[in-house]
Amino acid sequence: MPAEEKILFIDYSRCIGCESCEAACRFVHERPRINMTRTTGGIMAPVYCRHCESAACVKACPRGALQKALDSSVLLNPVLCAGCETKNCILACPFGGVFCTGLEEAVVKCDLCQRRRAVGMAPACVEMCPCGAIHLVTRAEALELSTEEYEVAHRKVMEHVRPVITSLPRRDRE
């Protein structure tokens, strides 16, 4: 694992749902790569790519458009993306971090602001978050930032992003 490996960590317990992260991302990239969602409980929360160590989206892409970079981030090469009708990458992501645009770019996802970071700047969402909920950290640092409050808030957001689907009871079993 590279020493310079960084990921985004969003502390949902500190997030106020202001949408500043999405607006900053839209400003930098034209289309946001972090999207706000409203949970069934009414919480506004950002959904984003977690740059997983073993990224399911990378494995699901039949054209190799999603790949791990040298810094271990998961990057999308739009030239290789065919906008598959199945959208396997979207379905594979357990965090809802790959987004369908419905436009000329079939999908988009966070690239940790690679261009900004190349010139020594932090990702736009990190710099714009008014409550300090978004951090660019190592995986070890993310574990240190994880509090009980974070875990509770994170669980609520993930239940919305990937709800547990239960089967309906069958009539012949009643």
The whole domain housing 81 covers: 7-162
Residue 104: predicted pLDDT: 72
Tokens of 93: 């992501």
What is the predicted pLDDT for the residue at 169? 64
pLDDT of residue 119: 96
* Long-range pairs, 20-28, Cβ under 8 A, ≥24: 20/125, 20/128, 20/129, 20/130, 21/46, 21/124, 21/125, 21/128, 21/129, 21/134, 22/46, 22/125, 23/128, 24/124, 24/125, 24/127, 24/128, 25/110, 25/124, 25/125, 27/124, 28/113, 28/116, 28/124
Residue at 80 is within a domain? yes
Tell me, yes or no, whether 171 lies in a domain: no
pLDDT score at 2 = 47
Report pLDDT for 105: 75
170 domain residue, yes or no: no
- From 7, 145, 136, select the one nearest 72 (Cα to Cα): 7
Q: List the CATH number of the domain containing 101.
A: 3.30.70.20
In the block, residue with structure tokens 């271990």 = 72
The answer to whether position 147 is within a domain reads: yes
Would 174 be classed as within a structural domain? Answer: no
Residue 173 lies inside a defined structural domain of this protein:
no
**Which residues in the chain show pLDDT less than 50?**
1-3
Residue 2 lies in a domain: no
Number of domains in the chain: 1
- 3-state class (DSSP) for residue 143: helix
**Which pLDDT score is estimated for 166?**
56
pLDDT for the residue numbered 1 = 45
pLDDT tens, position by position, 130-165: 999 999 999 999 999 999 999 999 998 998 887 665
Q: What is the DSSP letter of 173?
A: G
Angle value at C-alpha 36, between 94 and 58, nearest 5 degrees: 30
In a domain, 169, yes or no: no
